[in-house]
Amino acid sequence: MTDAKDALLSVENLRLEIDFNGAWTPVVDNVSFSVRPGETLGLVGESGSGKSVSAMSLMGFLGRQRGQRVSGTAMFQGRDLLRLTDRQLESMRGNDIAMVFQEPMTSLDPAFKVGHQIAAGIRVHQDVTAAQAKELAIEAMDKVRIPNARVRAESYPHEFSGGMRQRVLIAMAIANNPSMLIADEPTTALDVSVQAQILALLTEMKEDLGLAMIFITHNMGVVADVCDRLAVMYAGQIVEEGDVFETFAAPQHPYTNRLLAAMPSITSRRGSLEWIPGSPPRPTDFVTGCRFAPRCRHRLESCELPTTLLEISPGRSNRCLRGNTWMQENES
């Protein structure tokens, strides 16, 4: 929870509840974070931790249907995203805030040329002729380094490789000059060498266009590469938030600590790999106390008390009830 005043997006107490057989169950619970212009926030966690769901609720893809409800505030350029009408939200999505998803295969329509698809997105938001939109589309393809953009604009999605398709999606995302980009596992389906190209491109876009980015990923290596700050999610809550360098150097929450310790290393070989006993709880099994406690080796009886994300130093927060006292305990 950093200073909200210079933030481009400031989310407070975001809560998404889903009706599971008549019981309202919080899937995302009191999530607060902010993103400044030009900053990349990594939203990290295992599958089911609530990272994508949080982003989907901000964008209005979740929480607006029957059986779902969303609360909290998400101030973006002076407006609360959660209180916009569907129509207002539509004019904002793809314009001020753009999204890039994991699957470059399914995010494009196979029946239309890519230049046409990018241009269509431009014409929704900008008052331009079809010919001007086409030129803007080619310009955007150029920006994401698609070679021969003018020619490639006439190709169909299946004529592109996975990495090139992801470039097309990034071109589509930046074509309307958004101020924020939400990237949901944009490199997870790609090979490492292509991932390296796309990460370099996204960092460059961020720097050249001053984009703020929310980068959703489960890969700590990717976080270390592209993010300025990170928020670690577990069971629908943020358990720790802070600067990337500080957090990797000294994680404050036992979950972050275990997650980092579990990453197999490419530079050295250890005995056996670390793992966390048990598995993350389902939303219907969330407990009132610390949700990680059942799997935590530093658990005390007091961990059954309700938790809050506390600011421990400027820009760093921790949800562990034990603060950092658990660090003195023997790691065994």
Residues binding another protein (CB under 8 A):
46-47, 145-147, 161-164, 191-197, 199-201, 203-204, 207, 218-225, 244-245, 248, 258-260, 262-267, 269-270, 272-276, 279
Query: Of 146 and 180, which CB lies nearer to another protein in the complex structure?
Result: 146
Query: Of 23 and 200, which CB lies nearer to another protein in the complex structure?
Result: 200
CA distance 322 to 314: 19
Q: What are phi and psi of 42, to 5 degrees?
A: -90, 130
Query: Of 46 and 90, which CB lies nearer to another protein in the complex structure?
Result: 46
CB of 43 to another protein, least distance (A): 15
CA distance 297 to 331: 9
Query: Of 97 and 211, which CB lies nearer to another protein in the complex structure?
Result: 211
Query: Of 207 and 329, which CB lies nearer to another protein in the complex structure?
Result: 207
Strands 40-44 and 229-234: parallel
The 10 Å CB-count burial string (b at 16+, else e) for 176-185 is bebbbbbbbb
CB of 2 to another protein, least distance (A): 18
Query: Of 113 and 218, which CB lies nearer to another protein in the complex structure?
Result: 218
CB of 281 to another protein, least distance (A): 12
CA distance 257 to 318: 12
Q: What are phi and psi of 243, to 5 degrees?
A: -60, 140
CB of 195 to another protein, least distance (A): 7
Cα end-to-end distance, the chain, whole Å: 32
CB of 7 to another protein, least distance (A): 22
Cβ partners under 8 Å of residue 197, min gap 6:
163
Query: Of 131 and 249, which CB lies nearer to another protein in the complex structure?
Result: 249
CB of 279 to another protein, least distance (A): 6
Strands 229-234 and 237-243: antiparallel
CB of 146 to another protein, least distance (A): 8
Cβ partners under 8 Å of residue 237, min gap 6:
29, 30, 31, 50, 291, 307, 309, 319
Q: List the one residue out of 308, 182, 327, 163 whose CA is nearest residue 257.
A: 327
